[in-house]
C-alpha cells in the first residue's frame, strides 16, 4: 500500500493508475492505492504552483474519478477542470482493481474520503476523523492508522535517528503540506528536541512503548495500524523483532 501518493501535480492520475494496476498484477491482488492531496515540498518542483487546499481537494476528486474509470477498462477521454485525458487505456488490467484509500486530516478530506474511497488513512488516532468519514459514506469501510516508529536495540540510537529523519512529523499535515523546501522543515523544527520526538514516536526495543502507541488507534476505531520504521538500514532487524516480540505483545494487549 502507498502511504500516500499524490495523483494531481507531479504525477498525472493516468500515470498513477497505470503504476497501481501494474503493482496489483505483480502482487497478485494484494496492493492498495493510498492517495492524498499532496505536499508543497514534493509537488512544486514541476513549476505549476501550489494551489489552495480547496483546489487541491477538487483536483484529488477529479483524479480519483479518472483512476477509477481507467481501472474499469476501455478507452477513457476526459476534459475536466484540472485534467485532460485523451483516449487513455490500461492494457494490462488486474482481475480486481486496487482498493483506493484516501488520507484525511480534517472535515473536508473526511467528506471526500467518505464519498470516494474504499478505505481511509490517517496519521492521528482521532475518533472524530472516523466519525466524519462515516457520516459521508465511510461506515463499514476499513480505516488505517499510520504510526512512525524507531526500533533499535540501543535507545539513544533510535531516538537520534527519529529526531534526524522524522522530527517534522509532529507539525501535522496542515503545516507539512505547505512547507516548500527541506530548509523550511529544518527551520520549523529547529527547537524540536530528541526528548520531544521520543514522546510522540516509540523508540528503542521495549515492546510496551510500541503497544502503548498503538492502543489509541484501536480505541478510536481503526481496523489496521501501519508501523512505519524510520531508517532503511534497520528494516530487516525491525521485521525480525516485530515477528518475534512485538506482534505477540500486541495480540496480548488487543485480545
Which CATH number is 43's domain given?
3.20.20.30
* Grid cell listed for 229: 520504521
- State residue 169's pLDDT score: 87
What pLDDT, on a 0 to 100 scale, did the predictor assign at position 232? 80
Crossing angle of the two packed helices 13-26 and 53-71, in degrees rounded to 10: 50
> Please, what is the angle between helix 207-220 and helix 247-254, to 10°?
40
- CA distances (Å), origin 102, targets 30, 46, 112, 211, 238: 17, 23, 8, 25, 27
What are 122's strand-pairing partners?
A: 145
Task: Annotate 112-136 with b (16+ C-beta within 10 A) or e (fewer).
Answer: bbbebbbbbbbbbbbeebbebbbeb
Domain final residue, candidates 116, 141, 166: 141
The predicted pLDDT at position 28 comes to 97
What are the two backbone dihedrals, phi and then psi, of residue 156, each rounded to the nearest 5 degrees? -65, -40
pLDDT at 87: 97
* Total structural domains within the chain: 2
Same domain, yes or no, for 108 and 165? no
Of 174, 178, 29, 171, nearest to 103 (Cα)? 174
3-class DSSP assignment, residue 134:
helix
HSE-CB of 14 using CA atoms within 13 angstroms: 16
Query: Are residues 98 and 166 part of one domain?
Result: no
Asked if residue 134 and residue 32 are part of one domain, the reply reads yes
Beta strands 76-79; 84-88: pairing state = antiparallel
pLDDT at residue 192, rounded to an integer: 95
Give me the pLDDT at residue 89, please: 98
Quick one: which H or E segment has residue 199?
helix 194-200
* Per-residue confidence in pLDDT tens, the chain, 255 aa: 999 999 999 999 999 999 999 999 999 999 999 999 999 999 999 999 999 999 999 999 999 999 999 999 999 999 999 999 999 999 999 999 999 999 999 999 999 999 999 999 999 999 999 999 999 999 999 999 999 999 999 999 999 999 999 999 888 888 999 999 999 999 999 999 999 999 999 999 999 999 999 999 999 999 999 999 999 888 999 999 999 999 999 999 998
- The β-bridge partners of 236 are none
Domain that holds residue 23: 1-141
Residue 88, all three cell numbers: 487513455
Give the end of a domain, one of 141, 162, 187. Answer: 141
Domain check: are 17 and 120 in the same one? yes
Residues 255 and 155 in one domain: yes
And the C-alpha cell for 253?
494487549
**133 and 219 fall within a common domain:** no
Amino acid at each position: 500500500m502507498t502511504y500516500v501518493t499524490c495523483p494531481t501535480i507531479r504525477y498525472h492520475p493516468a500515470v498513477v493508475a497505470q503504476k497501481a494496476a501494474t503493482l496489483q498484477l505483480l502482487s497478485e491482488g494484494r496492493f492498495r492505492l493510498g492517495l492524498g492531496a499532496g505536499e508543497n515540498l514534493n509537488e512544486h518542483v514541476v513549476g505549476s504552483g501550489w494551489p489552495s487546499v480547496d483546489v487541491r481537494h477538487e483536483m484529488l476528486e477529479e483524479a480519483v474519478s479518472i483512476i477509477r474509470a481507467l481501472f474499469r477498462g476501455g478507452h477513457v477521454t476526459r476534459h475536466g477542470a484540472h485534467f485532460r485525458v485523451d483516449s487513455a487505456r490500461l492494457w494490462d488490467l488486474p482481475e480486481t482493481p486496487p482498493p483506493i484509500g484516501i488520507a484525511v486530516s480534517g472535515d473536508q478530506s473526511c467528506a471526500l474520503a467518505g464519498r470516494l474511497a474504499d478505505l481511509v488513512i490517517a496519521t492521528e488516532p482521532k475518533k472524530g476523523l472516523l466519525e466524519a468519514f462515516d457520516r459521508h459514506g465511510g461506515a463499514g469501510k476499513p480505516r488505517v492508522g499510520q504510526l512512525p516508529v524507531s526500533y533499535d536495540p540501543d535507545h539513544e540510537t533510535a531516538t537520534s535517528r527519529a529526531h534526524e529523519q522524522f522530527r517534522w512529523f509532529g507539525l501535522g499535515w496542515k503545516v507539512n503540506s505547505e512547507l516548500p523546501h527541506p530548509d523550511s522543515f529544518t527551520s520549523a523544527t529547529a527547537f524540536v528536541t530528541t526528548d520531544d520526538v521520543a514522546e510522540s514516536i516509540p523508540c528503542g526495543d521495549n515492546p510496551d512503548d510500541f503497544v502503548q502507541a498503538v492502543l489509541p488507534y484501536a480505541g478510536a476505531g481503526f481496523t489496521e495500524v501501519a508501523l512505519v520504521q524510520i531508517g532503511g538500514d534497520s528494516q530487516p532487524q525491525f521485521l525480525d523483532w516485530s515477528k518475534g516480540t512485538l506482534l505477540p505483545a500486541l495480540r496480548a494487549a488487543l485480545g
